Structure 1
Amino acid sequence: MVAVPELKQYLNNQIKVELNGNRVVQGKLAGYDFFLNLTMSDCVEVKGPKTNPEYIQLGQSVIRGNSIINIELI
């Protein structure tokens, strides 16, 4: 039996999501579904070194669950 992701406690909180292809996005979790597809508001992509990152505004974004490697509350 497959369990539904337990992300209810993270709704409306800032999260950082690591995606395949060494991409990182962060924003406010607005929703999710059974397949771990995420809807994020105020989303930005983080590029560059951690000491001086570049932020690219994405706005409202939908992230497919099969591209997610890690989710972190920030």
Structure 2
Amino acid sequence: MAPAQPELKKAGLDLSCYLDKRLFVQLNGSRKVIGILRGYDVFLNIVLDEAVEEKDGGEKQRIGMVVIRGNSVVMLEALERIGGDDRRGDR
């Protein structure tokens, strides 16, 4: 019998703490989208709700619910506080 192999930790991002939070997403080609994260997968494909695309010149276009392929995501930024606030002493 072969010795038991330790289970390898899956590589990838855990975005669960960002679910239902408003995110700023920078995409390839200098495209920018802001929306509420509703879902994601191991490939960083993300689903944003109430999404708004920011175009050059400050123009904003509502695009509603959108699926963004992970390979086009350059950066994610939370626009809301994630987790608890330790500075207030809420424990």
Q: TM-score, normalised by structure 1?
A: 0.89
- Show the counterpart of 1:18: 26
Q: Counterparts in 2 of 1:1-74, with a 5 A limit?
A: 3-49=11-57, 53-74=58-79
Per-residue deviation, residues 23-65 of structure 1 (Å, max 9, x unmatched): 000000000000000000000101134xxx2110100000000
Q: Any stretches of 5+ residues in structure 1 without a counterpart?
A: none
From the CA coordinates, give the structure whose radius of gyration is larger.
2
**Structure 2, unaligned runs of 5 or more:** 1-7, 80-91
* RCO comparison, higher one (Cα < 8 Å, 6+): 1
Q: Distance in 2 between matches of 1:35 and 1:65?
A: 6
Aligned-residue RMSD, C-alpha? 1.3
Question: Which has the larger share of helix?
Answer: 2
Instruction: Tell me the amino acid that sits aligned with residue 66 of structure 1.
Output: N
CA shift at 1:4, angstroms?
2.5
Runs of 4+ aligned residues of structure 1 deviating over 3 Å after TM superposition are none
